[in-house]
Structure 1
Amino acid sequence: MVTLHRRPNWKISVYAGDHGVPHFHIEGPGFRCSVAIATLEVIVGAVPRRVLVEALGWAAERQDELQVTWRELNP
């Protein structure tokens, strides 16, 4: 697992050996979701709206970096 962004109560990570479409995880205490990198749509799970908006804003500016990290960890 690589943590790419961290806030006080949540983080964005990409896991090695993961499955499905290229995605990242938004995780915090009591919540977790997976988000498709290409579309920034939530695949599964749920997070507080405030966290989702902030995380997707960060991810929208770094989709290329997220894709590269996914490919490195999931060849």
Structure 2
Amino acid sequence: MPRIAEFDGVIILMYYDDHQPPHFHVRYGSDQALIHIDPTTLAAGKLPRRVEQRVIAWATRRMAELQANWERAQHHQPLAWIEA
């Protein structure tokens, strides 16, 4: 599962050919979560509240890049790194 971003100890990952709806995975220490891209919401898992808010804010700003990576992943194309 490729890493597509990393900031403040948060690792953002996206699987190739993953199930709908478009989403990404988050790892923070021993916590893990699945975040839907649009609307940007916590769909599964658990993160500390502060980290969840930071990830949601980041994903909202980077929604177009996340959606583009989702499309690439569905077609098994290389994923782009997304800055914090």
Higher relative contact order (CA 8 A, sep 6+): 2
Aligned length: 75
**Runs (4+) of structure 1 moved beyond 6 Å?**
none
Structure with the higher strand share, 1 or 2: 1
CA distance in 2, matches of 1:64, 1:3: 17
SS at match of 1:18: coil
Task: Calculate the aligned-residue CA RMSD, in Å.
Answer: 1.3
Match of 1:26 in 2: 26
Q: TM-score, normalised by structure 1?
A: 0.88
Q: TM-score, normalised by structure 2?
A: 0.79
Gaps of 5+ in 2: 76-84
Determine what percentage of the aligned residue pairs are the same residue.
Answer: 29
Gaps of 5+ in 1: none
